[in-house]
């Protein structure tokens, strides 16, 4: 996680991992963050990563696809 944080910090800016358009790296990042949160991993050391995650979650399609938004989530809880 630290290596990718360094890449994001050194990147040229943009809302997402590689600029201002969401891509495959962002889709993978979203899942990684959800898993880290489920495992109660501290994400505080990764502000760039979390900024990209927040930008992804601001997109309606991504927010609707999150695990807790799925119909099965209500039955699992």
Distance CA 40, CA 42 (A): 6
Poorest-pLDDT segment among 10-14, 27-31, 49-53, 71-75: 71-75
pLDDT band for 77, please (50, 70, 90 cuts). low
pTM across the whole model = 0.86
- DSSP letters spanning 39-74: TT---TT-HHHHHHHHHHHTSHHHHHHSGGGSHHHH
Q: What mean pLDDT comes out for the span 10-21?
A: 88
Distance CA 31, CA 13 (A): 22
| Percent share of the chain, pLDDT over 90 | 65
Residue ranges per structural domain of the chain: 2-76
**Which of these CATH numbers, 3.20.20.80, 1.20.1050.10, 3.40.50.1100, 1.10.10.10, describes 2-76?**
1.20.1050.10
């Amino acid at each position: 996680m630290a290596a990718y944080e360094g890449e994001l910090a050194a990147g040229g800016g943009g809302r997402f991992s590689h600029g201002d358009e969401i891509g495959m790296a962002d889709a993978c990042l979203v899942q990684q963050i959800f898993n880290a949160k489920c495992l109660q991993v501290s994400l505080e050391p990764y502000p760039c990563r979390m900024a990209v995650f927040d930008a992804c979650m601001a997109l309606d399609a991504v927010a609707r696809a999150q695990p807790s938004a799925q119909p099965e989530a209500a039955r699992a809880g």
